[in-house]
Structure 1
């Protein structure tokens, strides 16, 4: 319960900062934290009714209610894995302050069809959802929908896996204020392929942390944040501890119609991660004047025994030649942008195997919903 996390809740929250300067060499925060402050659990109700969603999930966390229709091989319990803590930051302090109950899933067998998870809020409130997932010696596809229509929603997903192959598609579609944290611990021979597509809201703060702790663990991460008259702060952090680990983060984001888009991608290879490889590629395409795009990739390597380590950053303006070509074929500016982003989405989602068809349909649906 909240009282156990914060015996003196309000006093503890007041002592927490949103972001320490040490978190970023830019010595500044790109998240519009003032919006979270104005719409915090200290100012908004922390309970809300469930709303309707367009998908049929196995796990539905909507408002303050939870509904489960789990397939065989997935066990449900209450509690957390303990990979995240309230004292880490003010936003996590808010998360645990408002959290009513956390849930824990244990996947015990291979799943052919995706496990579908939905986190949803449609009322003006501050609501926290918290879900932990354990997966050992299995193969499973997972689709996570992060939907924020009104109010402020905080969703924390904790993942612990080893000797497994996971494919994760995260679809974030926001109109209001959203905080999302996926924190994953990859043990021996764990392989995770992840694709994230985000349609930003008033302020979407989306963070993914992956710790490659076991020998031979692998991560492929693809991200496509989209800020169309909205704001997205997208953080990806990869920590490689295990020997012979591999990671590749590739993000291509878009800002349009005074959109505010930032990608901060960090990778660190520790001394223990000998014979590992790490890559971070960050690209932002700014579609028009008045939009913001910021790309901040960071790479730190503590061992001299490294197979590969590289990072790159690019900020592009929309290709005027490509736009002229598409317009000459009868498309207007927004139709040309739609087609261009669809093509990027297809390319980024192509690495998903069992989720490929579902990933493509969700990317198309998401783009059509925001243009």
Structure 2
């Protein structure tokens, strides 16, 4: 199937509610891809990948996208399926990824293989202005490895992106995974978390939506082994006029035993910001220790900050303390330290996507 044929199909997933359709600005993707078909914008398939610490580029591979929830992975695979392969060998590592161009459509993929315990920061900087970044990510944690991973997605205010991922952890592993987001005009994140047997995986989607930013996140999980735990939490701070939807289906398969699965979604809203949250559970086994989900909103108001303000802080300082605390909860200390600093920087309105 060609891109032209796909454009006729549209982007909306069958079964999505009118609310999701309202919050998700599919016109951003449609307009850019139409321009690509009409040769009005260019296509680039190169990623600039820089590594340090115990992370290094080790060759090329084939990306595995999560092709369940939208048409975007189909566009992605038509345009580019080749991936840069990076290895992380324990301790500390840093991988920085950015498009090679700043206009048009950029399509790139990265596979990160983690074979030893440690902390990896994967920083993605999207500077494609009035265009589109299609990024595929595979994160694979080996058997018996305890890994801390931050996927830091930051983009310029006029940029848009589709980030498709698969995070798979091995048998007996421990995975602490944070997706730290700072969307531009529209960010679509969709992917799958699949923990191995006898493993524990804690996932956090957290971040800051600046004014007029949008995000649509679809975070699915599959538990199908023995003694497997997947806890997934989302907390997003939404500035004025921003909008977001966070959805996900956590599935416990019939093969699962002694399983634990938690889906918890939260939004922190300023006035004139809107959020839609929809966690699902699908339990197909009676050998479950825990299965629960929740969704809730918090409204940022001056009276809630009054107590801290009476202790000598300005309202802005009080707000930063409260929000950064909420946004970095349930993180291991190394990940929390990194995310805390980045969130404070973004909330102060520093220049974005130029690091």
Category of TM-score, reference length = shorter chain? 0.7 to 0.9
Tell me what 1:133 maps to: 112
Query: What CA distance in whole angstroms lies between the structure 2 residues aligned with 1:88 and 1:319?
Result: 35
Residue 349 of structure 2 corresponds to residue 366 of structure 1: no
Q: Give the whole-Å Cα distance in 2 for the aligned partners of 1:75 and 1:317.
A: 44
Higher relative contact order (CA closer than 8 Å, sequence separation 6+): 2
> What secondary structure, in the 3-state scheme, does the structure 1 residue paired with 2:62 have?
coil
Per-residue deviation at 1:226? 2.4
Unaligned runs of 5+ in 1: 1-7, 49-62
Aligned ranges 1:262-281 → 2 under 5 Å: 262-281=245-264
Q: CA RMSD in A?
A: 2.9
* Structure 2 counterpart of 1:227: 209
* 3-state SS in 1 of match to 2:75: helix
Which one of the candidate residues 240, 263, 284 is aligned to 1:257? 240
Are 2:325 and 1:343 equivalent residues in the alignment?
yes
The whole-number CA distance in structure 2 between the counterparts of 1:332 and 1:95 is 46
Distance in 2 (CA, whole Å) between partners of 1:353 and 1:291 is 30
From 9, 20, 30, give the equivalent of 2:13.
20
Secondary structure at 1:113 match in 2: strand
C-alpha deviation, 1:182, in angstroms: 2.1
8 Å contact kept, 1:104–1:131? yes
- Encode CA deviations 1:134-166: one digit per residue, 9 max, x unaligned: 334x21322122222312111110123331222
* Structure-to-structure mapping, 1:118-197, within 5 angstroms: 118-120=97-99, 123-136=102-115, 138-149=116-127, 150=129, 151-163=131-143, 164-174=145-155, 175=157, 176-197=159-180
How far is the alpha carbon of 1:220 from its aligned partner? 0.2
Answer whether contact 2:43 2:106 (CA < 8 A) is retained.
Answer: yes
Q: Which residue of 2 aligns with 1:45?
A: 41
How far, CA to CA, are the matches of 1:332 and 1:122 in structure 2? 41
Asked whether 1:297 is paired with 2:297, we answer no
The aligned runs of 1:202-221 (5 Å cut-off) are 202-212=185-195, 214-221=196-203
Q: How does 1:70-81 map to 2 (within 5 A)?
A: 74=56, 76-81=58-63
Deviation at 1:330, TM superposition (A): 7.0
- C-alpha distance in structure 2 between counterparts of 1:333 and 1:36, whole Å: 38
CA positional deviation for 1:314: 0.8
Relative to 1, partners in 2 of residues 1:160 and 1:83: Cα closer, same or farther, differing over 3 Å? farther
| Partner of residue 245, structure 1 | 228
Aligned mates of 2:288, 2:252 — CA distance in 1: 9
Offset at residue 118 of structure 1 (A): 2.0
Whether the aligned pair in 2 keeps the contact of 1:16 and 1:93 (CA below 8 Å) is no
Q: TM-score scaled to structure 1, two decimals?
A: 0.81
Deviates more, 1:235-244 or 1:221-230: 221-230
CA contact (8 A) 2:111 2:137 kept: yes
TM-score normalised by L of structure 2: 0.84
User: Comparing 165-174 with 300-309, which one deviates more in the overlay?
Assistant: 165-174
Q: Secondary structure at the match of 2:76?
A: helix
Secondary structure, in 3 states, of the residue corresponding to 1:36?
helix
Deviation at 1:245, TM superposition (A): 0.6
Structure 1 pair 72–28 and aligned structure 2 pair: CA distance change class (3 A): closer
Cα distance in 2, alignment partners of residues 338 and 353 from structure 1: 19
Residue in 2 aligned with 1:32?
25
Which whole-Å deviations, capped at 9, do the CAs of 1:123-143 have from their partners, x for residues lacking one?
A: 22110110112334x213221
Relative to 1, partners in 2 of residues 1:17 and 1:339: Cα closer, same or farther, differing over 3 Å? Answer: same
| Preserved contact between residue 249 and residue 279 of structure 1 (Cα < 8 Å) | yes
8 Å contact from structure 1 (residues 47, 64) kept in 2: no
